[in-house]
Amino acid sequence: MSSTPAPDDYFRAVERAFLELRGGGLVLSPADWDLVRRWDERGIPLEVVLSGIRAAFSGKVRVSSRMPLGECAGAVEAAFGARRVRQAGAAAPRDAAPQSGTDPEGLVGRLRSWSPDRTRLATPEMAGDLVAAARAAAARIERLGKSADAPASAGETVQAIENDLVMRLQAALPDAAREQIETEVRGKLAPYRTRMPAATWRTTFDQSVRRRVGEFFGLGPLIG
């Protein structure tokens, strides 16, 4: 299972760290919220975002209380890039658990070995089709990894493949499980309902539900 923080923890931590360092303002702007959502959507770890924010402020002589979070974006990207370089150069154990649903190699392994718990399906007969869909998704993701020198088909990305699989999983949810997942996510994101732009909140809600659907079926936090 992933150690990815819950969506409400991710947003709360970024908001608190940024506003404390900025020394002004009580809430993030709509543009700031959307930036945090995009960092979360891309799977940038919380500690990397916070490190980038701190680095952005450490390089400033004077800080404005109206400074937007966007001024930290470059430092966050630099921190994320440095982390990926370190990971690429490290000899990670082959059996190490994947850190997130967006790790392609780890995701391929999970998809190939996955078999749904039939008691968690709306109808047990769906199991065979879901297993086939998971294996097909694994093959598509693996092909992407081998096509670095050849263009992938239009729109073919790991996220697009995940999205297709998550839609199948959502369709296989029993009504009671779907309602429970949506209620849990809605409760976690409730503090941000009036603080985020409506479109940002809805996108965050949908993405969080998709993570939970993956976890419900034992595949980890797929984000679609």
Q: What residues of the chain score a pLDDT lower than 50?
A: 1-2, 91-101, 149-151, 224
What are the residue boundaries of the structural domains of the chain, listed by start? 1-91, 97-224
Q: How far is CA 153 from the centre of its chain?
A: 23
| pLDDT at 91 (0 to 100) | 45
User: Tell me, what's the pLDDT at 163?
Assistant: 87
pLDDT of the residue at 224: 44
DSSP 171-191: HTS-HHHHHHHHHHHHHHHGG
φ, ψ of residue 157 in degrees (nearest 5): -135, 165
Largest CA distance in the chain: 64
Question: Cα(223)–Cα(221) distance, rounded to whole angstroms?
Answer: 6
* Helix or strand run (H / E) with residue 62: none
**Cα-Cα-Cα-Cα dihedral sign, residues 156, 35, 98, 162:** negative
Q: Is residue 143 classed exposed, middle or buried when 0-12, 13-18 and 19+ CB atoms within 10 A define those classes? A: middle
What pLDDT, on the 0 to 100 scale, is given for residue 203? 86
**CB hemisphere CA count around 63 (13 angstroms):** 21
Q: Residues near 52 by Cβ (< 8 Å), separated by ≥ 6?
A: 72, 75, 76, 77, 78, 79, 80
